[in-house]
Structure 1
Amino acid sequence: MIEACPSYMDVGAIEGVMATIDCQTRVYAQGGYEALTRGSGLFGAALTLLMTIYVALIGWRLLFAPEGARLSEAPGAALRIGVILALVTNWSVFQTLVFDLADRAPVQIAAAASSPWTAAGGGQSLAARPIAGLDLAHDELRRSAVAFGVKAPPNAKGYASADAASAEALSLAADALMVMSVGVVGGAKLAIGVLTAVGPVFIALALLNVTRGVFYGWVRALAGSALSLMVGWALLVLLLVVLGPWLAALAEQREAQALQPRMATSLAALVLVFAVGQGILVAAAWVAALGLRMGLGARTAAAPAAASAPRTEPATSSFPVSRADRLSQALAQEAQRTELRVREFGAAGASVRAGPVPAAGPRPSDTLGGSYRRPVVPRRRGGA
């Protein structure tokens, strides 16, 4: 049963919004998954149809063996079917392998990478509790902006009054801090929730080669959202570490009613620089996610080489050749090669039996006196 999210009215602005987004994302992802896989008969019928087509294509390839299909591919196909069925029929498996990996793992990785800074100061720094620290930083920027506005002359413009310019700069920094936290981190969480809620549709499309590219696109989108969440959270922790001393000094000046426009301007510029850096990191995260290559990329890269390679056997028909035809062709070719080898060996044996071929040129009998032979006179025995 899906639990309802509690109300977060009595906490800070950023903490309440972030807690609401985190809870609603989890509830929406689980509810959408269960409604799609259990409550919708259309998805079940579509999944059954895709399974039938996939099994029929496997049988066709094993029967006619187009493009060199082999029986050894059957275990891989069975494994693919099993993984897809496990992911689209069990929320616990899907939550562990997809939702938690995309929503929980990036925050945990960022927290582990930032642990040396969050543990510094005995847990009293703003980075020790990032959400509460963001609320404190946002509230301090707002209070200081109001204090500068009260100190500035009535209806003063930023270009005419340093206090008015400081108030505008701190107000802009507070808005930028809200966008960096709620906008980037919360937006990434919402994207992950929606993508996981409709995830079974894209996972089912991974069955067929024709629709597998859509599944790869979904994986890249989910990876881009997860990487954006990771780098955005890590940068927020770093921002809180840097802002801690500045905010403490600004609070002391505000309580002492000795606000300095220079410090306010520097603090606002620091927040805006981190906002720009976060935008660059999010863009880099999406570039890394879009560079993800799976089976589709490998086949695409190998396609030009396969197309440019010479064909050893031209196609004689547009119909697929069965295994029996392939076997008969192979046996006929082997018989032709065997007959050719037998002929070559027979010709070589005949030349050896005929003896060596006399060399060209004049023979001894053709020269002058070469044909003369002295007659042999038999010896007579004594007394004969």
Structure 2
Amino acid sequence: MTPVSCPAADAPLVQGLIGSVDCQVHGLAQAGYAALSAPGSPVSTLLTVLMTLYVAFMGYRLVLGRGALRIGDATIAAVKLALVVALATNWALLETLVYDLLFKAPAEIGSLLLAQLDGGAAGKLDPYARLQFAFDALQEAAQHFATRAGARDAALQGGPGFAAFAANVGGLVMLLTSLGVVLACKVVLSVLLALAPIVAGLLLFETTRGLVEGWLKAMIALSILPMIATLALSLELAMMAPSLKALAAMKDAQQFAELDMGPAVTVLVLSLVFAVVLVAATIAVCVIVAGLRLPRERPAGEASAAPSITSGGSYAMPLEPPSRAAHLAAAAVSLARREEQSASAAAASSPAGPRRLVVVSDRSAAAPATGPTTAPAAAIPLGASYRRPASPRRTASGARRDQ
């Protein structure tokens, strides 16, 4: 592995910051990863314990019959164990697949975009070299405007003093919203990358899967933000190019008058606008990355959401609660049955003998008189189809008395 060379002390501001941060974050990620994954370290011991528990839980489920182990489940378990071992013990693989992709892709994409904006001049200038040139031009313009301003001229009262303020603040805001964001994301990304051995062990269990998702979301967001910042910087420099050329022409002609502060104000406005653009892009990236979900394992004993099929071939659907109309109909049928039973008991106990009681419903009464009419059968509740009708109790003494 080739070590990253740190820049010299006399390097320009932008290149010096980029080289110094790249050198330090690479060493931080590599040293932190090596310390956590070293044999005999607490993290390495914890990772071994977690892998042992994972295999033991699978065997426990098989022995007690709590779940069936299919071929697909065994394959997934083997892939998970291999992935955990690869992430926790192989820095070269992690550096090739993750570090180079997350750290070097933004500068490459920014260079390609700048080449397209320059008319296809590939490799002419990288975005950070352009940033250094624009920042130097703005600082020189601010210095020349400041020499034209009087000693009593305030920066917010207009004139050359305000032009110097606009050029200076515009350059600083552009530097912070582009290079500052890129460097901050690289530092945090290196710290998260160094924690890969710990996060790899959390991938085994379902209860800790959310921590792995959060780690991946943060890594993806921190890798996308520098790319967006680089692209925004390319567009900002392209839009700021006419103002920078005007400021350079004014410096060469030594014409920094009160009426020539338009390019400086344009630079300030563009830098503030792109600062708001970067904030909106950060919110958009967070919303997009929040949709990441790792695949979940479905327990073998989990009941399916589909309705179960009974032995008769029909689906056993859950019973719905009866409506108010059903309650009223059931109450009316029960009341009619009780009246019929009481009338039958009264007729059986009367001296004239039992008489047949005919109950005619409202629907039969409203029917036309022509033709034979039959009373519709009343609805019988479930379980009362073969219910024995009530009859008066007769004792032995009563039977002897009647004889």
Give the aligned partner of residue 215 of structure 2: 218
Aligned pairs for 1:30-49 within 5 A: 30-38=30-38, 41-49=41-49
Counterpart among 140, 143, 155 of residue 140 in structure 2 = 143
Q: What amino acid sits opposite 1:57 in the alignment?
A: F
For residue 89 of structure 1, report the CA deviation from its aligned partner.
0.8
Comparing 225-234 with 156-165, which one deviates more in the overlay?
A: 156-165
For residue 157 of structure 1, report the CA deviation from its aligned partner.
1.2
The 1:285–1:118 alpha-carbon spacing in structure 2 relative to 1, beyond 3 Å, is farther
Aligned residues: 308
Aligned pairs for 1:13-32 within 5 A: 13-32=13-32
The 1:113–1:251 alpha-carbon spacing in structure 2 relative to 1, beyond 3 Å, is closer
For residue 64 of structure 1, report the CA deviation from its aligned partner.
3.5
Counterpart among 204, 207, 213 of residue 207 in structure 1 = 204
Q: What amino acid sits opposite 1:230 in the alignment?
A: M
For residue 22 of structure 1, report the CA deviation from its aligned partner.
1.4
Counterpart among 156, 171, 176 of residue 174 in structure 1 = 171
For residue 308 of structure 1, report the CA deviation from its aligned partner.
10
Give distance in 1, aligned partners of 2:303 and 2:249: 72
Contact persistence 2:166–2:264 (CA under 8 A): yes
Comparing 67-76 with 143-152, which one deviates more in the overlay?
A: 67-76
Q: Deviations over 1:14-51 (max 9, x none)?
A: 11111111121112111111111116521111011000
The 1:123–1:245 alpha-carbon spacing in structure 2 relative to 1, beyond 3 Å, is farther
Give the aligned partner of residue 100 of structure 1: 100
Q: What amino acid sits opposite 1:37 in the alignment?
A: S
Aligned pairs for 1:52-71 within 5 A: 52-66=52-66, 69-71=69-71
Asked if 1:153 is matched to 2:150, the reply is: yes
Give distance in 2, aligned partners of 1:193 and 1:134: 24
For residue 239 of structure 1, report the CA deviation from its aligned partner.
1.8
Higher RCO (CA-CA < 8 Å; seq separation 6+) = 1
Give the aligned partner of residue 228 of structure 1: 225
The 1:217–1:89 alpha-carbon spacing in structure 2 relative to 1, beyond 3 Å, is same
Give distance in 2, aligned partners of 1:114 and 1:251: 21
For residue 119 of structure 1, report the CA deviation from its aligned partner.
5.2
Give the aligned partner of residue 267 of structure 2: 267
For residue 123 of structure 1, report the CA deviation from its aligned partner.
5.9
Aligned pairs for 1:64-83 within 5 A: 64-66=64-66, 69-83=69-83
Contact persistence 1:228–1:286 (CA under 8 A): no
The 1:285–1:258 alpha-carbon spacing in structure 2 relative to 1, beyond 3 Å, is same
Give the aligned partner of residue 279 of structure 1: 279
Contact persistence 1:110–1:230 (CA under 8 A): yes
For residue 251 of structure 1, report the CA deviation from its aligned partner.
0.8
Contact persistence 1:62–1:70 (CA under 8 A): no
For residue 121 of structure 1, report the CA deviation from its aligned partner.
5.6
Give distance in 2, aligned partners of 1:123 and 1:103: 19
Give distance in 2, aligned partners of 1:307 and 1:236: 54
* Secondary structure of 1:154 counterpart: coil
Give distance in 1, aligned partners of 2:110 and 2:294: 26
Question: Structure 1 unaligned runs (5+)?
Answer: 314-332, 338-384
Contact persistence 1:88–1:200 (CA under 8 A): yes
Give distance in 2, aligned partners of 1:154 and 1:243: 30
Give distance in 1, aligned partners of 2:189 and 2:243: 34
Q: What amino acid sits opposite 1:80 in the alignment?
A: K
The 1:158–1:20 alpha-carbon spacing in structure 2 relative to 1, beyond 3 Å, is same
Contact persistence 1:172–1:268 (CA under 8 A): yes
Give distance in 2, aligned partners of 1:258 and 1:159: 21
Contact persistence 2:167–2:264 (CA under 8 A): yes
Contact persistence 1:2–1:31 (CA under 8 A): no
Give the aligned partner of residue 368 of structure 1: none
Comparing 51-60 with 160-169, which one deviates more in the overlay?
A: 160-169
* Secondary structure of 1:104 counterpart: helix
Give the aligned partner of residue 335 of structure 2: none
For residue 111 of structure 1, report the CA deviation from its aligned partner.
3.8
Taking only aligned residues, the RMSD between alpha carbons, in angstroms, comes to 2.9
Q: Could you tell me the TM-score, scaled by structure 2's length?
A: 0.69
Q: Percent identity?
A: 31
Contact persistence 2:35–2:41 (CA under 8 A): no
For residue 2 of structure 1, report the CA deviation from its aligned partner.
7.8
For residue 165 of structure 1, report the CA deviation from its aligned partner.
1.0
Question: Structure 2 unaligned runs (5+)?
Answer: 314-403
